[in-house]
Amino acid sequence: MSDCIFCRIAAGDIPSACLYEDEHVYAFRDINPQAPVHFLVIPRAHIASMDEISAENSALAAKCLEVIPKIAARLGLSGGYRVISNCGADAGQTVFHLHFHVLAGKSLGERLV
């Protein structure tokens, strides 16, 4: 989708700090980090949100999850990390292309689940 900012980032049309890429997945640092380490993992294919995950495309979401421990190991996140996917207005989703936030680099506390 040419009007989707994350599709354009995955395509390389908008610059980003890439941490990982393969045929199906693209990972890059969040432009407005909420923790010392904050990156986003997205499928290259446009899926608007968690709400659109189905039996047909769930393998793409799984591929996103698979790369998270790889990146975490490379970044040395031995203390752990938090994975969040905001879905819809009440969750504060602002970019409607499925993405997994990965936050780390400090103690994130026990709240917000």
Q: Which residues bind Zn ion (CB under 5 A)?
A: 1, 4, 6-7, 46, 97
- From 24-32, 51-59, 68-76, 103-111, give the range in contact with ligand 5GP by CB under 6 A: 24-32
- Identify what 30 binds: ligand 5GP, Zn ion, none; CB under 5 to 8 Å per kind: ligand 5GP
Separation of alpha carbons 7 and 79, rounded Å: 31
Catalytic annotation, residues:
99
Smallest gap, in angstroms, from Cβ of residue 105 to ligand 5GP?
A: 15
Q: Contact 68/84 with Cβ under 8 angstroms?
A: no
**Phi and psi based region of residue 109 (left: phi greater than 0; alpha: psi -120 to 50; beta: remaining):** left
